[in-house]
């Protein structure tokens, strides 16, 4: 993990202190990060910071994503199969990426990919010349392990950390964008998530996310049982507005929803 990202982290325990390595280094591969305020300590291994406070609350689908063989086959087989099940057909990855990229614009600060999985979108962003620093957050150790391997193979630089949304372990107003590519429906507490997005974004920073439209009531019950929480545009727009985000936009490719909202800046208030 690069020093430029380490210095932006916030202790997930006390939610005040800035995390610090034992010794300064341009790139932190091993060794703990410590909070000077509450003295909590978090391990770093292979450059991945583990900021989990307790074992992940994994539901049915999430438990499957913790398996190494699933992580290794995620991009080729598992992700297309999930999209086929939820969207009725897998989406072309190039087209999907171009939508996210156009909505992100030119971020004025690091970009955090929440629910990054194996880093499919994050590493592509990181390979763009002149693009901002990219970090990926996920709760699955197996997915992050595969993400590190994929990033190295692609010759990209992505800083990975293990943490569980809705909480985002970054200091206030430090990020240029928060991306949730195909992962918004994994977060149960939408209100808390949007408040966290609002908190960590710099003025003018963007939130870009995708999810799928809620199914009927009978199917919706089964989706919730496996840990999925799809919402419609009206609910998502209201949650973004309640948190203080503005300029809500959506691209509807039924049943896929791709969303964008911004943190107000001097320009947006004019």
The pLDDT assigned to 225 comes to 79
Instruction: Tell me how many helices (H) and strands (E) the chain has.
Output: 10, 12
Q: What is the pLDDT of residues 134-153, one digit of tens each?
A: 999 999 999 999 999 999 99
Is residue 270 very low, low, confident or very high in pLDDT (cuts 50, 70, 90)? Answer: low
What one-character DSSP code corresponds to residue 74? I
What residues form DSSP beta bridges with 188? none
Closest-CA residue to 176 (of 89, 106, 252): 106
Is residue 217 very low, low, confident or very high in pLDDT (cuts 50, 70, 90)? Answer: low
Is residue 223 very low, low, confident or very high in pLDDT (cuts 50, 70, 90)? Answer: confident
Closest-CA residue to 230 (of 220, 242, 217): 220
The pLDDT assigned to 23 comes to 87
The pLDDT assigned to 57 comes to 62
Whole-number percent of the chain with pLDDT over 90 = 77
Residue 132 has pLDDT above 70, yes or no: yes
Q: What is the pLDDT of residues 52-96, one digit of tens each?
A: 987 766 666 788 888 999 999 999 999 999 888 888 777 789 999
Quickly tell me which residue has 């305020």 as its tokens.
37
- Alpha-carbon span 83 to 27, nearest angstrom: 36
DSSP 149-205: HHHHHHT---EEEE--TT---B-TT-EEEEEETTTGGG-S-HHHHHHHHHHHEEEEE
Quickly tell me which residue has 């990975």 as its tokens.
160
Q: What is the pLDDT of residues 148-183, one digit of tens each?
A: 999 999 999 999 999 999 999 999 999 999 999 999
What residues form DSSP beta bridges with 10? 18
- Alpha-carbon span 243 to 237, nearest angstrom: 10
Higher pLDDT, 194 or 219: 194
CATH number of 58-262: 3.40.50.150
Q: Where are the domains of the chain?
A: 1-51, 58-262
| CA–CA distances in Å: residue 238 to residues 168, 194, 241, 245 | 21, 10, 5, 10
Core vs surface per residue 102-123: b (16+ CB within 10 A) or e: ebbeebbbbbbbbbbbbbbbbb
């Amino acid at each position: 993990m690069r020093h430029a990202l380490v210095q932006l982290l916030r202790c997930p325990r006390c939610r005040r202190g800035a995390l610090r390595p034992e010794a300064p280094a341009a790139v932190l591969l091993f060794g703990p990060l410590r909070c000077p305020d509450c003295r909590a300590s978090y391990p770093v291994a292979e450059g991945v910071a583990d900021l989990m406070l307790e074992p992940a609350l994994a539901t049915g689908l999430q438990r499957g994503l913790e398996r190494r063989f699933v992580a290794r086959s995620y991009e080729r087989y598992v992700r297309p199969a999930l999209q086929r099940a939820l969207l009725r057909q897998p989406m072309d990855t190039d087209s999907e990426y171009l939508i996210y990229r156009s909505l992100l614009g030119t971020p004025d600060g690091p970009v955090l990919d929440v629910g990054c999985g194996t880093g499919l979108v994050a590493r592509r962003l990181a390979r763009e010349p002149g693009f901002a620093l990219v970090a990926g957050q996920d709760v699955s150790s197996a997915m992050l392990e595969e993400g590190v391997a994929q990033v190295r193979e692609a010759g990209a630089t992505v800083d990975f950390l293990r943490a569980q949304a809705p909480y985002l372990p970054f200091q206030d107003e430090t990020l240029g964008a928060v991306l949730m590519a195909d992962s918004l429906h994994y977060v149960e507490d939408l209100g808390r998530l949007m408040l966290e997005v609002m908190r960590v974004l710099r003025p003018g920073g963007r939130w870009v996310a995708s999810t799928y439209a809620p199914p009927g009531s009978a199917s919706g019950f089964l989706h919730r049982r496996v840990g999925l929480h799809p919402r419609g545009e009206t609910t998502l727009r209201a949650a973004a507005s309640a948190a203080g985000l503005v300029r809500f936009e959506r691209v509807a490719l039924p049943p896929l929803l791709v969303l964008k909202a911004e943190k107000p800046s001097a320009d947006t208030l004019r």
